[in-house]
């Protein structure tokens, strides 16, 4: 039973695309791979006549070459505004729920149980599960009700890679700050860091890498350069997300972009070291 989790220092750090790339990389290595995100908040869905999940996990499944099922994203939250969301469980509409009810009551009982059951199902059927976190694992106001980050890493017995978006600035501080805010038992799960969306000469980052390792005792395992690729955005955070139709033409385009992305990530991350850390 092998697993790897990608968490981020913030929303938009690149978790979704890194999971997709790693799904294809490890599929190419001969693993049967499945992505997993216990809880996703997005209005962009993959729909069939039988179920509906976040399209991000559907695209990751295409990257992993696995069957698209509700277990990949057992809880989908579709925001409605004013702190309300439509809650989908196992691909089916459950109910409209206020954030207070969801985070204070639902996640601790039904939500966690549903997510855990889906994860265990995937672990029985695949060699490797690549989990995606949500937002940041150190949102102090949400920590007790967070079932998308460290709680899932513990249940999956998973090592964690922390990715950060250097194009936004403050990446080194975000890494150190995230590590310092985590409980010690959760700090132990993080095995290394990934710098995303870098522009320029990587040699100028080397002093930062050294300092990060001195402070955290963990290495930077790779730096992914800023590139243009045309995969659908997970949600509307970037302002670029658009609905897509799942036509053969669009699926072929997604496949092509996944291959392009995975080759880039494979050449810029220490995949050998990442493979060693998979439990």
pTM over 0.85: yes
| pLDDT value of position 240 | 53
In the chain, the domains with their CATH numbers are 2-277 (3.40.50.300)
| pLDDT value of position 151 | 96
| pLDDT value of position 235 | 59
Query: Among 34-43, 62-71, 135-144, which stretch is predicted with the lowest mean pLDDT?
Result: 135-144
Q: How confident is the model at residue 241 (pLDDT cuts 50, 70, 90)?
A: low
Checking if the pLDDT of 143 tops 90, the result is no
Checking if the pLDDT of 236 tops 60, the result is no
Q: How confident is the model at residue 1 (pLDDT cuts 50, 70, 90)?
A: confident
Judge contact between 160 and 190, C-beta under 8 A.
yes
Checking if the pLDDT of 258 tops 70, the result is yes
| pLDDT value of position 234 | 63
Q: How confident is the model at residue 68 (pLDDT cuts 50, 70, 90)?
A: very high
pLDDT, tens digit (0-9, with 9 covering 90-100), for 73-112 = 999 999 999 999 999 999 999 999 999 999 999 998 899 9
| pLDDT value of position 114 | 98
| pLDDT value of position 13 | 95
The secondary structure of the chain, three-state, reads CEEEEEEECCCCCCHHHHHHHHHHHHHHCCCCEEEECCEEECCCEEECCCCEEEHHHHHHHHHHCCCCCHHHCCEEEEEEECCEEEEEECCEEEEEEEHHHHHHHHHHHHHHHHHHHHHHHHHHHCCEEEEECCCCCCCCCCHHHCCCCHHHHHHHCCEEEEEEEHHHCCHHHHHHHHHHHCCHHHHCCEEEEEEEEECCCHHHHHHHHHHHHHHHCCCEEEEEECCCCCCCCCCHHHCCCCCCCCCHHHHHHHHHHHHHHHHHHHHHECHHHHHHHCC
pLDDT, tens digit (0-9, with 9 covering 90-100), for 104-138 = 999 988 999 999 999 999 999 999 999 999 999 99
**Angle between helix 55-64 and helix 248-268 axes, rounded to 10 deg:** 70
| pLDDT value of position 109 | 85
pLDDT (average), residues 157-186: 96
pLDDT (average), residues 141-149: 91
Q: How confident is the model at residue 231 (pLDDT cuts 50, 70, 90)?
A: confident
| pLDDT value of position 279 | 65
| Residues 75, 115: Cα–Cα separation, whole Å | 7
């Amino acid at each position: 039973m092998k697993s790897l989790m990608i968490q981020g220092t913030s929303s938009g750090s690149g978790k979704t695309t890194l999971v997709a790339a790693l799904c294809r990389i490890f599929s190419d290595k001969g693993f049967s791979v499945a992505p997993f995100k216990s809880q996703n908040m997005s209005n962009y869905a993959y729909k069939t006549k039988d179920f509906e999940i976040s399209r991000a996990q559907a695209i990751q499944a295409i990257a992993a070459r696995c069957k698209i099922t509700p277990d990949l994203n057992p809880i989908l939250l579709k925001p409605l505004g004013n702190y309300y969301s439509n809650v989908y469980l196992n691909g089916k509409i459950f109910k409209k729920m206020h954030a207070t009810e969801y985070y204070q009551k639902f996640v601790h009982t039904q939500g966690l149980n549903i997510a855990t059951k889906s994860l265990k199902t995937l672990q029985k059927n695949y060699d490797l599960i690549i989990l995606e976190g949500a937002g940041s694992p150190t949102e102090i106001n949400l920590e007790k009700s967070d079932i998308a980050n460290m709680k899932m890493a513990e249940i999956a017995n998973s090592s964690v890679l922390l990715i950060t978006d250097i194009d936004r600035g403050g990446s080194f501080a975000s890494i150190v700050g995230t590590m310092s805010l985590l409980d010690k038992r959760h700090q132990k799960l993080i095995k290394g860091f990934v710098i995303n969306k870098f522009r320029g000469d990587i040699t100028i980052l080397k002093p930062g890498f050294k300092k990060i390792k001195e402070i955290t005792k963990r290495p930077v395992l790779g730096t992914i350069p800023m590139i243009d690729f045309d995969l659908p955005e997970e949600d509307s955070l970037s302002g670029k997300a658009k609905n897509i139709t799942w036509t053969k033409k669009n699926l072929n385009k997604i496949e092509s972009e996944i291959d392009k992305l995975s080759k880039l990530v494979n050449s810029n991350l220490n995949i050998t070291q990442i493979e060693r850390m998979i439990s």
